[in-house]
Structure 1
């Protein structure tokens, strides 16, 4: 089918190219996205009023599509704040220290704990939790600081965040832009994330094991002494800021999430890294009661979410319980988080728990908008290329179809490209990697999702498969694994290693995993 390209198509294409170039220069892309939205709407309608309105409408449409994501982030963050106030967050991971006796066991425990915490709560709380409780134990068990940082980055910012299977922020954004079901993207992203993560972890283990030493308390003393002398100080001149060499310091990376937007990593680390607990008299009745309550919640939270996982699996693979539909899983995670928040706040401050609960919720909402807020104008620009969303953004009547700007461009270009699933899949992966260069894990998902929805039918590949591939490239790059100006700075700060060294060491294992997972996706899905 021949498509007649208009000036609006070319302006929209120019906007995409400018955004990609801005990402490559490691700059924030909110302003280019807003300007491109204005110019596209102005060119399409010929009205400056429509152009100005589109700036607001694009973010509004994106907010309507993505607000459930903001809400779940807010609830989970609020719950973690209440648990941290009790001291229950550290108690949840403390038992794992008992099995970390040598390098290999420490490697496996670090990987498993980081992955599970990151899968349910995002990598943001996983880094300070693991950093404060398990990293020193792993160092004493013989692991090198560099290998510790690699494991945490690969399992948290990489493997867990790239699938985001429980909270489903990333699959939701990818699926909305691609026009497919979020569960379809989430299921495939989970498989691909395990392939990438498993490959990267295996290579890391084989390469780094020779640097491990016999367990000794001297290793911990040496590690701390090097940090005191500044040997392990994390600094990256290209980002303008460096992570500290001591865990209590709050690293402030220049890039984006572990989860979304250009400011997320810095915000996430600053909000969720708690100062050390003040020394309290362990013999007082109040302290004994506080510790008892903290232990109870340290057991309650994992058990509650374990029960949810069991229910989720029963619904997915059996007929014992009805399967969850759409966003039900994320809603249940949020509901559990809300109830735990109320209970934890009441246990901490019986007299004023109503106010305490409200404070935690406000903190959660503030964090959610700081973490994800800049995704809205970016998503709005890419939504204007989708006919399902273009109408409301451009002020077109609901009875009339909106323009399919992006799909028209893809239809025009595809006749000049090889109609090959491998070429298209690796192209989407490359775009995802480039989109992640700004240090933001989620800002490129609307682009890769929209391209997947447009290119999938042309090459006979399920759009959800291409969206999952693009999601892998975007988050493994920008989420904080293979670029140094992302939240990898926080990981390097807790592991007390140079962030550039950590990024370089992670690059080849992760790229090997991404290539393998993309081949698998084309051949199997």
Structure 2
């Protein structure tokens, strides 16, 4: 049945085009999102007052839908801060320095540890930790600095962040934007498989690209590396090259700031209150060791608990947002344990400080997503009524889905073509260096295009998530948080981005093909 299109549909499509163009030009997306929300609401309601209210309602509705995500980020960050104060975060990775007997093993070790830490705490805090602790040992083992940078970027900002399987920020945004908030777990499961495929290809090709430069273990490699530009100079050079181009997502800026927080003399990440992690690690060594062991064990058991129903039929599965809630609650309890271990009676105050710091980090990382998500939620009938201030029970416009239905005869019925189209849209939205800012768009397109193309919307959402996060999260775009990785490794960020281009793109192509075949 033909769907009549109105001026509201045209204005909404212009808003989508303006946002995509802004991302492609690396401009801030918040401004066009707010203006587009106002224009659509004004066209639909014919009231400037109503349109102004809708601008607020858009961010409010998005905040209601996404606040659980903000809270999980905050609690996981508070746990990491507590572990850092105890020195347990470094203790978790310190034993792996002895494993790196040569450059080949070092490449795999750096990639594996970066992936695990980034899976639980995101790459932003993981990069300084891994770089300060493992990078010198990897270079002594014979791994060239660019090899270490490839391993860190692909494993952390590619594999771990694109699936976001533990914290589930990305799957939650993708599923909600697709109109399937209860399907976040399905998106997460599919994204995990696709991220592993993409990462395996990218790591394999990246390793082949630098294999001939791996040398025999020698202290001379580290001496030569340290004799070059200082870390501060390297970070300043990366900022000089690309920092003015940083796009709308604050995470890329925070990654650079985290890298710049490294103590120049020791090479250790500096603590907010002064001193370094090495100094903090001297305090309460027994509790430090306990928490260093308990943290990966507990979260490893959580992942097994979430995966068990998929391999053992009959076990109850976590519904909706229960998985993220379980992770957040566990993080809060472990944060208390680490805080009391580090501070004793003072933990009554410092625990609250850790939570506040986590909330600040969360809103800095994700705050700009709210007005963007609000605009794309305006295109879904499930949310548009609340944003436009319509009475309960009133018919709400389903703008994006109505446009898709009006032009479905022009959309290829080939799932492969549609999947690659969504992947391309995701990669375009990632050009601004954000990673997550484009997820409301790829999720909304997935919900609208999936039924038309005969492919499940959660599959398309996972594919779009791969394109957006691998591109803007810190592997393909030089002005993303790849700056921090290049700064730590002291390699030119533009050279690193060029080296990663073919391996990552090959991985994305293969994983998209597998998504169509498997899912």
- When the two structures are superposed, what TM-score results if normalisation uses the length of structure 2? 0.93
1:210 aligns with 2:197: no
Distance in structure 2 (CA, Å) of the matches to 1:471 and 1:263: 18
Post-superposition offset of 1:335:
1.2
Aligned to 2:254: 267
Task: Give CA-to-partner distance per residue, 1:330-351, whole Å, 9 cap, x none.
Answer: 1111111111111221122223
Corresponding position: 1:374 with 2:376:
no
2-structure distance, mates of 1:220, 1:163: 34
Number of equivalenced pairs: 506
- CA displacement 1:237-257 (0-9 Å, x = unmatched): 56346xxxxxxxxxxx934xx
* Residue 235 (1) aligns with residue 229 (2): no
Tell me the equivalent position of 2:513. Answer: 519
5 Å matches for 1:327-366? 327-366=321-360
Moved more, 390-399 or 339-348: 339-348
Paired position in structure 1 for 2:159? 159
Distance 1:432 1:154 in 2: 18
State how 1:257-406 maps to structure 2 within 5 Å: 262-270=249-257, 274-275=269-270, 278=275, 290-318=284-312, 321-406=315-400
Structure 1 equivalent of residue 116 of structure 2: 116
Seen in structure 2, the aligned counterparts of structure 1 residues 389 and 365 have a Cα distance that, compared at 3 Å, is same
Structure 2 vs 1, CA of residues 375 and 424 (structure 1 numbering), >3 Å: closer, same or farther?
same
1:184 is aligned, of 179, 183, 186, to: 186
Q: Residue in 2 aligned with 1:436?
A: 430
> Shift in Å at residue 322 of structure 1?
2.8
CA distance 1:19–1:70, shift in 2 (3 Å): same
In 1, Cα distance between the equivalents of 2:276 and 2:516?
Answer: 56
Offset of 1:523 from its aligned partner? 1.8
Query: After superposition, what is the alpha-carbon deviation per residue over 1:493-523, rounded to whole angstroms, capped at 9, x for unaligned?
Result: 1111111111111111000011111111112
Q: Distance in 1 between matches of 2:171 and 2:204?
A: 26
Superposed displacement of residue 309, structure 1: 2.4
Cα gap change, 1:287 to 1:491, in 2 (>3 Å): closer
What is the CA-CA distance between 1:316 and the residue it aligns to?
A: 3.2
Change (3 A) 1:362 1:269: farther
Deviations 1:394-445 (A, max 9, x none): 0112212310111111122332233221221111011000000111111100
Instruction: Please say if residues 256 and 483 of structure 2, whose CA atoms lie closer than 8 Å, have aligned partners that are also in contact.
Output: no
Work out the CA distance in 2 between the residues paired with 1:205 and 1:123.
20
Q: Aligned partners of 2:414 and 2:453: how far apart in 1?
A: 6
Contact 2:87/2:283 (CA < 8 Å) preserved in 1? no
Alignment partners' CA distance in 2, 1:408 and 1:279:
56
Q: Structure 2 stretches of 5 or more lacking a match?
A: 262-268
**Is it true that 1:478 corresponds to 2:476 in the alignment?**
no
Unaligned runs of 5+ in 1: 242-252, 256-260
Mapped to 1, the partners of 2:18 and 2:240 lie a distance apart of: 25
Shift of 1:269: 5.0
CA 1:474/1:288 → structure 2, altered by over 3 Å: closer, same or farther?
closer
Confirm or deny: 8 A CA contact 2:72 2:325 kept in the other structure.
yes
Across the aligned residues of Structure 1 and Structure 2, the Cα RMSD in angstroms comes to 2.1
Normalized per residue, the structure richer in helix is 2
SS in 2 for 1:2: coil
Aligned to 2:266: none
Q: 1:507 to 1:123 in 2, by over 3 A?
A: same
Write out per-residue CA displacement over residues 458-490 of structure 1, whole angstroms, 9 at most, x where no aligned residue: 110111111111000000011011000100001
Residue 225 of structure 1: aligned partner: 227
Deviates more, 1:491-500 or 1:221-230: 221-230
Conservation of the 8 A alpha-carbon contact between 1:233 and 1:496: no
- Bigger mean CA deviation after superposition, 411-420 or 89-98: 411-420
Distance in 2, Cα, partners of 1:101 & 1:424? 46
Partner secondary structure for residue 134 of structure 1: helix
For residues 179 and 278 of structure 2, what CA distance do their matches in structure 1 show? 57
Offset of residue 232 of structure 1: 8.8
Q: Matched residues in 2 for 1:403 and 1:287: separation? A: 57
Tell me the alpha carbon deviations over residues 166-201 of structure 1, each in whole angstroms, 9 at most, x when there is no partner: 111100000001122111111111111111100001
Judged with a 3 Å threshold, the aligned counterparts in structure 2 of structure 1 residues 288 and 179 are, in CA distance, closer, same or farther, namely closer
Corresponding residue number in structure 1 for 2:199: 197
State how far apart, in whole Å, the 1-side matches of 2:171 and 2:318 are. 16
CA contact (8 A) 2:70 2:359 kept: yes
Q: Contact between 2:235 and 2:484, CA under 8 Å: does it hold in 1?
A: no
- Supply the distance in 1 between the matched residues of 2:172 and 2:282 (Cα, whole angstroms): 44
Q: In 2, distance between residues paired with 1:349 and 1:15?
A: 51
